[in-house]
Amino acid sequence: MSLSVLISASEAVPFIKSGGLADVIGVLPRYLRRLGHDVRLVLPRYYGIDKTKFGLKPLAGVLVVPMGGAGDEYCAVYEGSLPDSDIPVYFLEHEGYFGRSGLYAENNVEYADNDRRFIFLSKGSLELCKMLDFFPDLVHANDWHTAAIPLLLNTTYRHDSHVGGAASLLTIHNMQYQGSFPPATMEILGVGWEHFTFLGVEKDDRVNLLKGGIYNATLLNTVSEGYAAEIQTPAQGWGLEGVLRERNRDLFGILNGVDYTEWSPESDPYITANYSAGDLGGKGLCKADVQKEMGLPQRGDVPLIGMVGRMVTQKGIDVFAEALPRLLELELQIVMLGEGEPWAHFYFGGMAASHRDRLSVCVGYDNGLAHRIEAGADFFLMPSAFEPCGLNQMYSLRYGTIPIVRGVGGLDDSVENFDENLLAGTGFKFHDLTAGALFDTVGWALHTWYNRREGIDRLRQRGMAVRFTWEGAAEKYDRLYKMALKRRSGASSDTPPRATRQ
Ligand code: ADP
Ligand code: GLC
């Protein structure tokens, strides 16, 4: 059965990216399309999205978006497509909301009107269906930015000519960010105050858009099975564990796939030399080159550890910072690429300046360098405090770069711990979020490097053979979509709006 699906999100490659959400949204639709679905994507037209480069064309007419007490707002809609596909992508162009240099924040300060900006995106996505005369069977929302959609579908848009019958799926890519705003945000949402309750969008006397989405979506999923279980506990639920437990029959885990057209050492255009599991010769050249690029001594014998990612507490950089002085006493090299919290830029930059032969840090965002680190490094470190899925450890496996990870969420699901006796596994794992555990595990990896090379070779070969395909993940989404539709059609017409459509 082919379905009509509207996916609404705040970022997608190749148009705009701040993290893994963009990787997922830019690729999943392609595989859903291959399954025969009519998939369409809605994004904000941020200032950073170049209309000429992506060949975006304006649609005729103006989109009217009712913004509750704030009255109607208007925007232009531009149409493009995911490159090399027939998947339409619609961009809502509102200069006041999206004509800014940042996506969510500037200079580490969140925009004060993020509630308006993303409620506008959520409502605009639904209004757009009228403009396109599109009747989605299901609307797929992602993270807090579009989590208002399930609530809106259950209330304001319940009897809408185009989306009134649609089921909804909310994918949670990260529980930490919930879209929490003052009660006045209710006016912008434009739904009745009866929804500002414990069993609705209210949390700690504030509007919590993610919570509203969790209560109202027909079905829910996160981006790994491990994380789906973890977020139902106080340690990882960020205060919403109770709500998630209430809905746990409707909550699923689907591990993200990897876009192997972008991340494969055999064909990667960003790296110095291509290589494969059968011929790893090029990997040594990639290592020498990334050492040169990052200003480290070009030594093949010393293990090179790579790190790429947002420098924020989620990624365990505080624990890494604590372990770093001891790590730098070992015979190793570390390259880091990322940006995030200012203290981290300062601290890691300072440590690099005083350990030039061992540590090199690039503060910034550089896709090409991210590829070259994946290819050139021997190990890839991800000591995350929590990790809904995590993509870099999956890229690392493909590049023969052995992951050293904390066993949480998607990291735990995608990396198998090294077994010294059987020489099995795909990486090194630790569990305690402490500098000691991190240090010991890097020590274990280094010991293996220096003393048990056959272990390294086996880990590499096994990792390079693993695949996390989008074909597989898309089939699981396909099943969830169909399950959601069944739930939706089974719902009686007088289901109370805040209740889930089961
Ligand atoms: P998250 O979405 O939590 O940031 P993921 O592991 O899911 O983490 O995805 C991060 C994505 O962003 C990966 O594709 C990674 O390569 C990329 N990335 C993160 N930081 C940088 C950076 N500084 N430069 C280039 N790419 C980066
Ligand atoms: C989030 C998570 C990350 C996940 C990504 C894509 O940003 O932090 O773990 O891989 O979303 O789902």
Strand duo 402-406 + 428-430: pairing: parallel
Centroid of ligand 2 to alpha carbon of 490 (angstroms): 32
Torsion over CA of 11, 13, 18 and 19, rounded to 10 degrees? 100
d(CA 308, CA 22): 16
* Ligand 1 pocket test target in 11, 174, 271, 310 with most atoms within 8 Å of CB: 310
Name the residue ranges covered by the structural domains of the chain.
Answer: 4-257+470-489, 281-465
Q: What architecture does CATH give domain 281-465? A: 3-Layer(aba) Sandwich (3.40)
Residue nearest atom 9 of ligand 1, based on CA coordinates: 20
Centroid of ligand 2 to alpha carbon of 491 (angstroms): 32
Strand duo 72-81 + 63-66: pairing: antiparallel
d(CA 119, CA 70): 12
* Closest-lying ligand 1 atom to the alpha carbon of residue 393: 6
Q: Please give the DSSP secondary-structure letter assigned to residue 59.
A: P
Helices marked H in 194-268: 209-216, 225-230, 241-246
* Closest-lying ligand 1 atom to the alpha carbon of residue 364: 23
d(CA 19, CA 342): 18
Centroid of ligand 1 to alpha carbon of 339 (angstroms): 10
Strand duo 202-203 + 206-208: pairing: antiparallel
Top CATH class of 4-257+470-489 equals alpha beta
The residues, ordered by sequence, that sit 6+ positions from 326 with a Cβ below 8 Å of its Cβ are 435, 439
Pocket of ligand 2 (CB under 6 A): 19-21, 24, 173-174, 223, 256, 387-391, 410
In this structure, what are the phi and psi dihedrals at residue 252, rounded to the nearest 5 degrees? -125, 165
3-class secondary-structure state, position 413: helix
Centroid of ligand 2 to alpha carbon of 331 (angstroms): 32
Residue nearest atom 27 of ligand 1, based on CA coordinates: 309
Centroid of ligand 1 to alpha carbon of 1 (angstroms): 35
- Tokens of residue 73, six digits: 């707002």
Quote helix, strand, coil % in the chain, to nearest 5: 40, 20, 40
Examine domains 4-257+470-489 and 281-465 and report if their fold is the same: yes
* Closest-lying ligand 2 atom to the alpha carbon of residue 391: 10
Task: Write out the chain's pLDDT in tens, 502 residues.
Answer: 899 999 999 999 999 999 999 999 999 999 999 999 999 999 999 999 999 999 999 999 999 999 988 799 999 999 999 999 999 999 999 999 999 999 999 988 999 999 999 999 999 999 999 999 999 999 999 999 999 999 999 999 999 999 999 999 999 999 999 999 999 999 999 999 999 999 899 999 999 999 999 999 999 999 999 999 999 999 999 999 999 999 999 999 999 999 999 999 999 999 999 999 999 999 999 999 999 999 999 999 999 999 999 999 999 999 999 999 999 999 999 999 999 999 999 999 999 999 999 999 999 999 999 999 999 999 999 999 999 999 999 999 999 999 999 999 999 999 999 999 999 999 999 999 999 999 999 999 999 999 999 999 999 999 999 999 999 999 999 999 999 999 998 864 444 333 333 2
DSSP annotation string for 173-186: S-SS---EE-TTHH
